[in-house]
Chains A and B, each alone.
Chain A
């Protein structure tokens, strides 16, 4: 075989591997999406033998989507999750980028110790302290309020870390030049640092979005009444005393999934840039 033929063959094998993994990655997402357009009866009826009808809807219906909003108050869950996300993204970005700015551009006493505190905090997920946090939120009288969903997440160690790493790549001379021209801290930050850091703001914003949109354990603990439930918590309530309405669960699951996917696909270019440039390099 010529070296060229060998290379082509290698590429073909590589693409086959790529496509196989892509099928594994995509299948469950597509399957739940397709299931959301079927009735409960239909999902189960065509399981055996395996045919086209096992996966594709025979009679497409949007009834499931109508039912979750009309009869199960899913709109409220979407509102609650959206509210949490819309508050937390700007707050988180501001808090984390200011801290990243301090770590990247200042030398101060206790810097290393403080940085270590942040590192530990983002490597130990919030779920590990869910119980003591719950006790604390109860004492503060905040259970079953939106504050309980928002407050514990206002400071995100991972976002802070990404900002610090990214800001370190910005030449200090740029900031000094602006300082000499009389710009104050606020102006330096918003007019010079922020415009240079768009990819990392998008990356951190997306991560915060995905984390909060998909958060399960904490909202499960602190939401008590149906009006406070988030999307993820609501998934367990599409049932009556006797049975779970699976097709409704899949309609809600599809809505939960499609939003981050639609956000991620157009922004993924920045996302990779953000992690690569700012992230945990070798």
Chain B
């Protein structure tokens, strides 16, 4: 009797510790390899020769290359993030329709996601080659002169946007599709009976009901796109005329080409700050929508 009681209390304390033990490996991995580096990046950027200093930021904020790089990053993302979200939503709505063979198309639309960003970069570099790329070859059928694409300062950034949109949208489509699958079909039917058109249904019924999936897509898409790096590294190396010199590439160059770790750390901190501000804003704005609906 005595021993069985002891066993029960022992078991109880095990049961209490159980969730923490189950979480331990996952939590340790995230704390050590993600949370700690975030703090360490921020702290290091404020330290110079062992003391607190704003010198790194003073130098950075006087640096034209940094401001240009920040503008390039913003210009790219102001276009790319809304574009990808709209395209992904259109794809999700399309593959959510109940027609024969829709599963095949859903799979095909996802395939670009399985291609690595490095591979996609070299592939599009080939297709968009000025002198012998297939894009210019097709354009020549219509009598359109050769385009510079990645070699034209006015087109390079947008060429990257097109490539990244081609590669990324299938991924976000899947999450929006998951949201759409959760919407009760009878809601569409009653909206139709009430005479609601496509856009009324979309904005009044569909979008509010998939707001959680949408919030995830908006937030994750933003942080992923702000860190997009491979096309710049592999195709344009920041050029032509720094037109594709995104912040992440500036971090890479500072740290690994010029050995300037404190500059790289400060730009990382700026980039992280930017992403965190945007994510918080998105959470605030989209959660309010939730309350309204």
* B227 CB contacts on chain A under 8 angstroms: 125, 127-128
Q: B116 within 8 Å of A by Cβ?
A: yes
How many A-B Cβ pairs are below 8 Å?
276
Contact B223 A280 (CB under 8 A): no
Interface-located stretch among B55-63, B66-74, B194-202, B212-220: B212-220
Contact with B along A158-187 (1 / 0, CB 8 A): 001000000000000000000000000100
**What are 17 A-B contacts defined by CB distance under 8 Å?**
A22-B105, A35-B126, A47-B136, A99-B25, A102-B19, A117-B35, A118-B30, A121-B30, A129-B41, A217-B229, A250-B123, A253-B123, A275-B175, A276-B181, A280-B216, A280-B217, A282-B180
- Interface, chain B (partner A; CB < 8 A): 16, 18-20, 22-23, 25-30, 33-38, 40-41, 44, 91, 94, 97, 99, 102-103, 105-120, 122-124, 126-127, 131-134, 136-138, 140-141, 166, 170, 174-175, 177-183, 209-213, 216-217, 219-220, 223-224, 227, 229-230, 233-234, 248, 251, 255-256, 261, 264-265, 268, 271-272, 275-276, 279
Report A-chain residues with C-beta under 8 Å of the C-beta of B108.
22, 25-26
Q: Restricting to A3-18, which residues have a CB under 8 Å from any CB of B?
A: 11, 14-15, 17-18
Contact A256 B166 (CB under 8 A): no
Complex: how many Å from CA A214 to CA B117?
A: 7
Across the interface, which residues of A come within 8 angstroms of B268, CB to CB?
128-129, 131-132
Contact A98 B114 (CB under 8 A): no
Indicate if the CB atoms of A282 and B35 lie closer than 8 Å.
Answer: no
Asked if residues B137 and A48 are in contact (CB atoms below 8 Å), the reply is yes
Q: How far is the CB of A205 from chain B (nearest CB, A)?
A: 14
Q: How many Å lie between the Cα of A270 and that of B106 in the bound state?
A: 13
Question: Which residues in B have their C-beta under 8 angstroms from that of A131?
Answer: 41, 251, 255, 261, 264-265, 268
Cross-chain contact B18 with A185 (CB below 8 angstroms) = yes
Check A214 against B116 for contact (C-beta < 8 Å).
yes
Q: Is the CB of B105 within 8 A of A18?
A: yes
- For the complex, give the distance between the alpha carbons of A101 and B107 in Å: 30
Contacts of A279 in B (CB 8 A): 175, 178, 213
Please, which residue of chain A has its CB at the minimum distance from the CB of B97?
A: A14
User: Does A281 lie at the interface of the complex (its beta carbon under 8 Å from any beta carbon of B)?
Assistant: yes
Give complex CA distance A249, B180 in Å.
39
In whole Å, how far is B163's beta carbon from the nearest beta carbon of chain A? 9
Report how many residues on chain A are interfacial, defined by Cβ distance under 8 Å: 93
Chain A 16-50, CB within 8 Å of chain B: the 1/0 string?
A: 01100110111011011001000000011101111
CB distance from A4 to the nearest CB of B (A): 15
A128, B272: Cβ atoms closer than 8 Å: yes
Q: How far is the CA of A18 from the CA of B111 in the complex (A)?
A: 15
Q: Is A1 part of the binding interface, using a Cβ–Cβ cutoff of 8 Å?
A: no
Per a CB cutoff under 8 Å, which of B41, B99, B131, B275 touches A47? B131
A98 contacts which chain B residues (CB < 8 A)?
22-23, 25-26
Per-position 1/0 for A90-109, Cβ under 8 A of B: 00001110110111001010
Chain A 77-126 interface residues, beta-carbon cutoff 8 Å to B: 94-96, 98-99, 101-103, 106, 108, 111, 114, 117-118, 121-126
Let me know if A272 and B26 touch, CB within 8 A: no
User: By the criterion CB–CB under 8 Å, are B91 and A21 in contact?
Assistant: yes
Q: How near does chain B come to A260, taking the closest CB pair, in angstroms? A: 4
A177 CA to B111 CA, complexed, in Å: 42
Report Cα–Cα, A15/B104, bound state, in Å.
12
Query: A254-266 CB contact bits vs B (8 Å, 1 = yes)?
Result: 0011001100110
Q: Which of A124, A250, A256 has the most CB of B within 10 A?
A: A124
B181 smallest CB distance to A (angstroms):
5
Q: How far is the CA of A217 from the CA of B209 in the complex (A)?
A: 36
> Which residues does chain A contribute within 8 Å of B131, judged by CB atoms?
44, 47
B132–A280 contact, CB under 8 A?
no
Complex Cα gap A102–B182 (Å): 25
**Bound: A17/B99 CA distance, A:** 13
Which residue in A48, A111, A276 is a CB contact (below 8 Å) of B177?
A276
Contact assessment for B99 and A11 in the assembled complex, using a CB-CB cutoff below 8 Å:
yes
Closest to B219 in A: A123
A123 to B255, CA, bound (A): 25
Assess whether B19 is in contact with A282, with CB atoms less than 8 Å apart: no
CB distance from A234 to the nearest CB of B (A): 10
The chain B residue sitting closest to A185, CB to CB, is B18
Bound form: Cα–Cα A281–B182 in Å: 6
**Residues of chain B lying within 8 A (CB to CB) of residue A15:** 99
Closest Cβ neighbor of A17 among chain B residues: B94
